[in-house]
Amino acid sequence: MSRHSRSNDWGFPRWRSYGSERGATKVRICDRDGCDLPGDCPAPKSPNSPERWYFCTEHAGEYNRGWNYFEGLSAEEAAAREAGERATGSAYEQSRHYGWAGPGDGSRSRDEMRALDTLGLDPDVEFDQVKIAWRRLAKANHPDTHPGDAEAADRFRTIQAAYEVLRVAEERRAA
């Protein structure tokens, strides 16, 4: 009489640790000629092809430095493709945190520096002075005080946008 031994795999939850299988693990080697590292970074062979190269991390970086997604497309086709992908790929849009235009003076972003310049303030000014300058300039350029003056209306909109940038940045700093 043969005894049947029980398996450790009883479904969920998994009783054995991951990677404890007895069979050999399949490892794809880098597609770069002469490289024997694992190729775990997929890279497209061409813009409209589902085929992929599989490179190691070093060769994937080398490949991506020379990659031109819009190669072979005219300027109009490239713009149309970019617009279409931006419309459907909003989940991949750059996060709001990185949208603040990069470095300014080290304490403020480039957008904040432009906003302070618009309000005529120094980069190291406190937010209370920002409010005071915004109110003064908004009163001076408000469309109700200058009816029919398109330039004053444009200046007012610029001042409002600059204040909004600085207000949101101040809220983020406070949080």
CA 81 – CA 87 distance, rounded (Å)? 10
CA 76-82-84 angle, 5° bins: 100
Number of Cβ atoms within 10 Å of the Cβ of 44:
14
- Residue 70's nearest CA partner among 92, 99, 46, 94 is 46
pLDDT above 90 coverage of the chain, percent = 26
Check residue 38 and report its DSSP letter: B
CATH H-level, domain 97-174: superfamily: DnaJ domain (1.10.287.110)
CA 138 – CA 119 distance, rounded (Å)? 10
Instruction: Taking residues 9-15, report their average pLDDT.
Output: 56
In single-letter form, the type of residue at position 164 comes to E
Query: What confidence tens digit (pLDDT) does each residue in 109-142 have?
Result: 888 888 999 999 988 889 999 999 999 999 999 9
pLDDT above 70 coverage of the chain, percent = 74
Instruction: Taking residues 31-60, report their average pLDDT.
Output: 85
The structural domains of the chain, with segments of one domain joined by +, span 27-88, 97-174
3-class SS of residue 103 = strand
- Tell me the residue length of the chain: 175
Query: What confidence tens digit (pLDDT) does each residue in 15-42 have?
Result: 556 656 666 667 889 988 899 999 888 8
Question: 110: which residues sit within 8 A by CB, 6+ positions away?
Answer: 100, 101, 102, 103, 104
